[in-house]
Amino acid sequence: MSTEENKNSFEWVWYVLGLLTGMGAILSVSTNVGLVLLGGILGLIFAGVFLNKIVKGREY
């Protein structure tokens, strides 16, 4: 990656959004802490798939 890509990279926003959305979805159904953490992990996985498979190489 070039320094310009590193400076303007906002990929972390998608990971945080996936984490919070996954946790919120499970929290709305159950208050079990283990399931909420599992939902957060699944949200991170979906965010990674989204960034690396669906939008990889797109120009903004």
With 0-12 / 13-18 / 19 or more C-beta atoms within 10 angstroms meaning exposed / middle / buried, residue 33 is exposed
Give the global pTM: 0.72
Q: What is the pLDDT of residues 11-53, one digit of tens each?
A: 888 889 999 999 999 999 988 999 999 999 999 999 988 888 8
Give the pLDDT score at 28.
Answer: 92
Higher pLDDT, 17 or 3: 17
Tokens representing residue 1 in the block: 């990656």
Q: Is pLDDT of 57 > 90?
A: no
Q: Looking at per-residue confidence, does 47 or 56 come out higher?
A: 47
- Is the pLDDT assigned to residue 59 strictly greater than 70? no
Instruction: Give the closest residue to 46 by CA, choosing from 18, 6, 11, 13.
Output: 18
